[in-house]
Amino acid sequence: NPIYKPEWEKVSSTLNVDATNLANSTVSIVLKGTASKTFTIEKVEVTVKVADQSMTYGDVVPTNSVTYTGFVNNENEAVLGGSLGFTCEATSASNVGNYTITSSGLEATNYSFKYVEGTLTINARTVTITWPEETSYNYTGSEIVITASLGNVVNDDQVEITSYTGNRGTNVDSYTAIVEGLNNSNYQLPEDNSFDWNIVAVKAELTVSDYNGIYDGIGHTFEATTSHGTLVYSENNSNWD
């Protein structure tokens, strides 16, 4: 009969290790006898996402922010160290377009970081348009041209109107002037940029030429001069003094 030996007995047990603040550390556990186990506690990755931003050309660049995902054990950004910083090439004078925002600078004992970029979108600035106060113009026989001035321009930019429709007229009529284009792509036109105006008829001053003659039963033609040309009038079978 075999003789019982204590070392033959299989022993099973559970070992609990407090791994708090042991990230990226190697832990060696030596059991009684000759058994041992070594394992490494890795840092948990936290994703740091820069929030997308938008602004109008010429305005102050907005303040950046981030969102975090990946914390464990009910922890949050309060456990982080270092100094979170942002990098973006855009300024108040940067042209309309999209600009990348990056972040960096965080530190933590138990966490590593995956930084995700954000985007700053700079939108065109809307100009204001000022039309003349006068909406009605007397007919002159010559072309009348209506022009507008621009406002809400920043950074000492030279912004000019490049084209109109309906801003020129000669004859008596109603017109609608519209600004069609600008010379600077950092600016845009307002939705309503039209101006209604008209050319109205005027009373002409009539000056009739003198005529001296004896009635002869024959029709005669005489001229009357106006402030806008010559009016020709024919009179037949008239008795003249």
Comparing CA positions, the residue from 149, 180, 150 lying closest to residue 165 is: 180
Under 8 Å between Cβ of 173 and 188 = no
Better-predicted residue by pLDDT, 177 or 235: 177
- What pTM did the predictor assign? 0.71
pLDDT tens, position by position, 147-205: 999 999 999 999 999 999 999 999 999 999 999 999 999 999 999 999 999 999 987 66
CA angle at 31 for the pair 29 and 34, rounded to the nearest 5°: 115
pLDDT tens, position by position, 60-94: 999 999 999 999 999 999 999 999 999 999 999 99
Amino acid identity for residue 33 in this structure = G
Nearest-angstrom CA–CA distance, 241 and 224: 18
Residue 73, CB half-sphere, CA atoms under 13 Å: how many? 10
Torsion angle of the four alpha carbons 220, 224, 225, 230, in this order, in degrees rounded to the nearest 10: -60
pLDDT tens, position by position, 93-131: 999 999 999 999 999 999 999 999 999 999 999 999 999
> For the chain, what is the largest distance between any 2 Cα atoms, rounded to a whole number of angstroms?
173
